[in-house]
Amino acid sequence: MLQKYRRRLVATTTFVFAAFWGVLAGISGLQTEAQLQALKPVRPIEIFFLEDPAYPSISNHTKLMSIAHAVQSFDDHFGIKLSEISIHQNKIPQGIRDRIPNFWNSAERSSLSYWEYKVYPNIQNSWETHATASLPVIFTNIPIMNDLGQRTQLETSHLNSKGLVSGLGHPSLTIISTYRLLREEEVLIGSNLNNPELRNENLARFMGEYVLAHELGHAFLALGDYVEKSHAPTMAAMRGPASVGDDVDYSRCLMHTDNGGGYKAWDALSQRPLGDSVESPCPEYSQVLSAFKLRVQAIEALKAGDRSTAKNLYQELMNVYQPSSNTWLHSQWENESRLFMSVFKRWWNGIFMVESTL
């Protein structure tokens, strides 16, 4: 009698356990499919025009020209088309507004330490957000000064003598400022100051290619600031370490610049014909660009219902993209590739229902 009861207990327990895992696997499968279908080949961009009337600014028309130049330049340098862009006037990105009260009214906003220590640590998003949501970009005119000196985690050797920051590229928020450009306008575009049309074109080119497209290289591709070899690089947490070889063609290497202000890099870029596709010889770019294109193909295969091809492409891109130090982008793509695993394997690997952050 006791033995019969034990058999029934074992059978019932086995059935309950199997039913539990069946329901769990079903729910997880639906969740996983939803996550896979939500992946975006290239993130949309939301640009927020936020200005302080106390500082000089450029016209909205010139800002729009800048954005158009950035889109073209990003395609020229990286072969990546940015097609979804929306503009917001005098609004703060919701994710920032919800997490940082009085974000834009802080008296500290003109210091790099404010962004590095108070803003970015509070807006770190999950890998899933970076894979599916739009990238917020603040287009402003406020000064951002390096008040940290060598204590900053960012590469700063390419800043000008005043330590002015023109942009910060990050997958949770990118910010670009016209303050440095307008302060140094005579040096940067002096020959065209008396011709309004050429002046606006050069302002737009500087902000579009030299600043915005460059910062999107950080925010989309996790590429670092590569500064000429004469300056020892710093280690960057918000983006990768800097390094560069000799004889860099700055017109073909958007993420490379020169120390002391980046004047050589801007001069080279300003003379590059806009719209000419650039095949950069820089080995620092090749891995991530190859992997990025494989991911685009994988997501297109997913949308077409070809899960097997998508899975194989993800395996290939993870083999291609092997950065010397782990980047947020590598972590994101690794988490995306795990979505193709079974619920049991993900549970075994300790990642089931765990949300990874930067």
What's the pLDDT tens digit per position in 113-142?
A: 999 999 999 998 888 888 889 999 999 999
Between CA 342 and CA 151 the distance in angstroms is: 45
Residue 9 included in any domain:
no
CA atoms within 13 A on the CB side of 315: 8
Between CA 225 and CA 203 the distance in angstroms is: 22
Q: Within this chain, do residues 317 and 340 fall inside the same structural domain, yes or no?
A: yes
pLDDT score at 318: 96
Structural domains counted in the chain: 2
Expressed in percent and rounded to 5, the helix, strand and coil fractions of the chain are: 50, 10, 40
Q: Which domain holds residue 319?
A: 282-358
Distances (CA, A) of 181 to 65, 116, 161, 170, 199: 15, 22, 14, 21, 12
Q: Within this chain, do residues 164 and 154 fall inside the same structural domain, yes or no?
A: yes
Q: Within this chain, do residues 254 and 288 fall inside the same structural domain, yes or no?
A: no
Q: Within this chain, do residues 265 and 169 fall inside the same structural domain, yes or no?
A: yes
Residue 355 included in any domain:
yes
Residue 25: pLDDT band by 50, 70, 90 thresholds?
Answer: very low
Nearest-5° angle of CA 114, CA 74, CA 285? 85
42 phi and psi angles, rounded to 5 deg: -135, 130
pLDDT score at 225: 85
Q: Please state whether beta strands 85-89 and 45-49 pair in parallel, antiparallel, or not at all (unpaired).
A: parallel
pLDDT score at 195: 86
From 246, 280, 314, give the residue that closes a domain: 280
Residue 32 included in any domain:
no
- The 3-state DSSP class for residue 86 equals strand
Sign of the Cα pseudo-torsion (63, 65, 71, 73, in order): negative
Residue 251 included in any domain:
yes
Q: Within this chain, do residues 110 and 143 fall inside the same structural domain, yes or no?
A: yes
From 263, 280, 297, give the residue that closes a domain: 280
Q: Within this chain, do residues 200 and 330 fall inside the same structural domain, yes or no?
A: no
Q: Within this chain, do residues 71 and 187 fall inside the same structural domain, yes or no?
A: yes
Q: Within this chain, do residues 258 and 288 fall inside the same structural domain, yes or no?
A: no
From 234, 249, 280, give the residue that closes a domain: 280
Q: Please state whether beta strands 226-227 and 256-257 pair in parallel, antiparallel, or not at all (unpaired).
A: parallel
pLDDT score at 3: 64
Residue 73 included in any domain:
yes
Q: Within this chain, do residues 267 and 286 fall inside the same structural domain, yes or no?
A: no
pLDDT tens string 84-102: 999 999 999 988 988 998 8
Residue 211 included in any domain:
yes
Least confident of 72-76, 194-198, 343-347: 343-347
In whole numbers, what is the pLDDT of the chain averaged over residues?
82
More confident residue, 146 or 350: 146
Q: Within this chain, do residues 192 and 269 fall inside the same structural domain, yes or no?
A: yes
Q: Within this chain, do residues 241 and 272 fall inside the same structural domain, yes or no?
A: yes
CB atoms closer than 10 angstroms to residue 353: 10
Q: Within this chain, do residues 230 and 254 fall inside the same structural domain, yes or no?
A: yes
Between CA 263 and CA 252 the distance in angstroms is: 15
241: left (phi over 0), alpha (psi -120 to 50) or beta: beta
Residue 159 included in any domain:
yes
